[in-house]
Amino acid sequence: MKIKEYTQIIAQKFPFELMENYDNSGEQLMFPNCELKAVFLCLDITGDTVSEALENGANLIITHHPLFFKHIKNIDESDPASKNLIELISNRISVISLHTNLDKIFCRKLEEKLDLKHLDVLFPENCGQIGLGTISETSEEIALKDFLAYISKKLRTSFLVYGGDESKKIKRVALLNGSGGKDVEKIVHFHHPDCIITGDVNYHGMNSAIENGVVVIDAGHFATEFQLLEFLKDELSDHFEKSFPQNKNQIIISKTQKNPFKVYIQNE
């Protein structure tokens, strides 16, 4: 199978028409007539993920965050981003990115992973059938302390940043993976949840939510999105194994990509 044939399958499953206007999902770097060897999945193109893809013999990388999101003004091999691009081209590795088009499909899967009952789409489009984020309910009211422990375990993260009334009981939940923190005030105003789970929350958004009696859990950009690589692998494996019955398990999730944030707590 040619890379261009496999990318057509990807485009059918995760239509690029779903992406947000500001986004740049789709084909980033293509060698369309190369025979597909293996597929490597990661959130970002970094020196580590490029090396890992090469070690695994992959010649197609699928990222979540686009390789080209801002304008490139020059290429200089002393710059890490330029070096990665040169390495990809030198080894004829194609790159395709599934960003907000994948988010709109993945959000329901993340909701299921957290065992939340779906109520609505957070930011709906196409008559409310699809969109970014979800509004959900827990099966029963749960104390904030217990809910934090539950979310930490489900998202496999060792830390959560949160704010709000410690005595709050959680029932109605707004869920928005990635950089949804910028929309906290909008979510509070239009949806009035008990709790918002998202990433990249800023100071003013947190304060505003607390003033309105809403708990905000900043689980982090990484923890709310790395899970989508497992979902993506499951969605793409059937097509790969039908085309490569003698060469199964050639969709590889990055093992080197880690949460870039660490927490330092000073002991008293």
Q: Where are the domains of the chain?
A: 3-98+225-253, 102-219
- CA distances 84 to 37, 176, 209, 255, Å, are 20, 30, 40, 18
- Determine the topology of domain 3-98+225-253 in CATH: 3.40.1390
Cα–Cα distance, 262 to 164 (Å, whole number) = 22
Tell me whether domains 3-98+225-253 and 102-219 share a fold. Answer: yes
What is the CB neighbour count within 10 angstroms for residue 11? 17
pLDDT by 10s per residue, the chain, length 268:
899 999 999 999 999 999 999 999 999 999 999 999 999 999 999 999 999 999 999 999 999 999 999 888 899 999 999 999 999 999 999 999 999 999 999 999 999 999 999 999 999 998 888 999 999 999 999 999 999 999 999 999 999 999 999 999 999 999 999 999 999 999 999 999 999 999 999 999 999 999 999 999 999 999 999 999 999 999 998 777 666 665 556 899 999 999 999 999 888 6
pTM of the model: 0.94
| pLDDT, position 248 | 59
- CA distances 250 to 17, 44, 86, 122, Å, are 28, 19, 24, 35
Cα–Cα distance, 54 to 61 (Å, whole number) = 10
**Helix, strand, coil share of the chain (percent; to 5):** 40, 25, 40
- Determine the topology of domain 102-219 in CATH: 3.40.1390
Q: What is the dihedral of CA 123, 128, 129, 133, to 10 degrees?
A: 20
Give burial (CB, 10 Å; 0-12/13-18/19+) of 189: exposed
